[in-house]
């Protein structure tokens, strides 16, 4: 419909009121609408002409509208909406902030620190199970073949192994630091030493000085020394070269390396591993049950079962790790690397 006709219709409706002032205003508005309509029509005509030229068979342009870029249309074609992308980024950032805020809030209170201590302890228990299961292959009577295959397959996953080692390092550091802080707080609050001490609880040991919970800090320090010794032997390789390589400089196979370090010629490792393994039994015997109690899993019906499972778990893990130095001591003689060198000469 023409804008002039619209103007005449509107004017005729208002003329019946004989209001000349309204007529002038309506006429001015109509003139502006007409001018605006002509401008819009002219622009659409230019666009249509350009589009026709671009799409004509005489123009090699690939498609109409290539000269006019439309970011919104391009995003629509890709199936990505700007607001969706922003929402996803905001959700990720919010999740990270929430996790960090929860951790900081937990570490700022005594109860929260004990919860984090329990969680890290249970995660480390899972690591002990996996680590012991792999090392038990040393006892397979196949000349170390099974253990060598396991060790080589593990070290082929270099990236995954590096991530796991960093994660374990973080768990150990967090567990040790929080344990020292919790122990300090408990000692300041009362002379009993650890989280769940109850003097009148049934089934406690009659001799106050031999309760497992009073030994958590001591056994934890001994286990830490065991861990440092283990890293010095197997990770940093700080022992004599005969424990790691042959006379020609070639490296020992993983099973031969382990047997060399756990032989009777390396009494420091034998004694350290044995003491550390039995300290681990005492640490896990109380720590396992205490972790569940700290997390709220404490019921007269289930607590005795959790204690029993904890004692069995501690005994299996501790005796399992103690079996390696004890086996090496019973075998006697020199390290396997020394024997191989003698055989070659």
- 245 SS3 class: strand
CA dist 3 and 224 (Å) reads 90
* Mean pLDDT for the chain overall: 77
Are the CB atoms for 321 and 270 separated by under 8 Å? no
**Kindly report the CA angle at 76 between 53 and 62, in degrees rounded to 5?**
25
* CA 266 to mean position of chain CA atoms: 37
pLDDT at 65 over 60: no
Q: Which of 143-152, 293-302, 335-344 has the highest mean pLDDT?
A: 143-152
Q: Average of pLDDT values for 153-169?
A: 94
Q: What are 76-129's pLDDT values in tens digits?
A: 555 555 555 566 666 666 666 676 777 677 778 888 899 999 999 999 999 999
Percent of all residues in the chain with a pLDDT value above 70, rounded to a whole number: 60
Indicate the class that CATH gives domain 107-344: mainly alpha
CA dist 223 and 314 (Å) reads 13
Where do the domains of the chain lie? 3-72, 107-344
Closest CA to 270 of 321, 325, 224, 336: 325
Closest CA to 151 of 168, 136, 172, 167: 136
* CA 283 to mean position of chain CA atoms: 25
- Confidence (pLDDT) at 79: 55
Residue 321: exposure state from Cβ atoms within 10 A (0-12, 13-18, ≥19): buried
Are the CB atoms for 197 and 203 separated by under 8 Å? no
Residues in CB range of 44: below 8 A, 6 or more apart:
none
What sign for the dihedral angle of Cα 160, 164, 166, 167?
A: positive
Look at the block and give the residue holding tokens 């499972």: 309
Taking phi over 0 as left and psi of -120 to 50 as alpha, with beta for the rest, 109 belongs to: beta
pTM of the model: 0.66
Q: What are 287-310's pLDDT values in tens digits?
A: 999 999 999 998 888 899 999 999
């Amino acid at each position: 419909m023409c804008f002039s006709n619209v103007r005449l219709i509107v004017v005729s409706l208002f003329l019946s009121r004989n209001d000349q002032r309204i007529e002038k205003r309506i006429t001015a508005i109509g003139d502006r609408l007409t001018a605006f309509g002509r401008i819009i029509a002219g622009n659409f005509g230019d666009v249509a002409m350009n589009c026709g030229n671009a799409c004509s068979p005489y123009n090699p342009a690939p498609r109409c509208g290539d000269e006019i870029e439309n970011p919104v249309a391009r995003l629509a074609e890709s199936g990505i909406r700007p607001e969706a992308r922003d929402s996803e980024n905001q959700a990720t950032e919010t999740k990270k902030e929430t996790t960090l805020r929860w951790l900081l809030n937990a570490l700022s209170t005594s109860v929260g620190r004990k919860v984090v201590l329990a969680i890290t302890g249970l995660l480390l228990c899972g690591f002990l199970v996996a680590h012991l299961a792999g090392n038990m292959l040393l006892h397979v009577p196949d000349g170390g073949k099974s253990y060598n295959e396991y060790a080589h397959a593990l070290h082929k996953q270099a990236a995954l192994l590096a991530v796991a080692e960093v994660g374990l390092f973080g768990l150990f550091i967090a567990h040790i630091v929080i344990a020292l802080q919790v122990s300090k707080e408990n000692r300041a609050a009362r002379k009993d030493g650890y989280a769940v001490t109850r003097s009148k609880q049934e089934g406690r040991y009659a001799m106050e000085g031999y309760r497992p919970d009073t030994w958590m800090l001591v056994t934890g320090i001994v286990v830490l020394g065991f861990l440092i010794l283990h890293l010095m032997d197997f990770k940093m390789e700080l022992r004599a070269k005969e424990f790691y390589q042959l006379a020609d400089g070639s490296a020992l196979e993983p099973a031969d390396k382990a047997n060399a370090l756990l032989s009777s010629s390396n009494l420091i490792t034998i004694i350290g591993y044995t003491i550390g393994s039995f300290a681990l039994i005492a640490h896990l015997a109380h720590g396992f049950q205490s972790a569940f109690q700290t997390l709220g899993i404490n019921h007269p019906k289930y607590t005795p079962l959790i204690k029993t499972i904890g004692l069995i778990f501690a005994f299996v893990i501790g005796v399992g790790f103690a079996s390696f130095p004890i086996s090496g001591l019973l075998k006697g003689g020199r390290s396997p690397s020394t024997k191989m060198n003698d055989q070659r000469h």
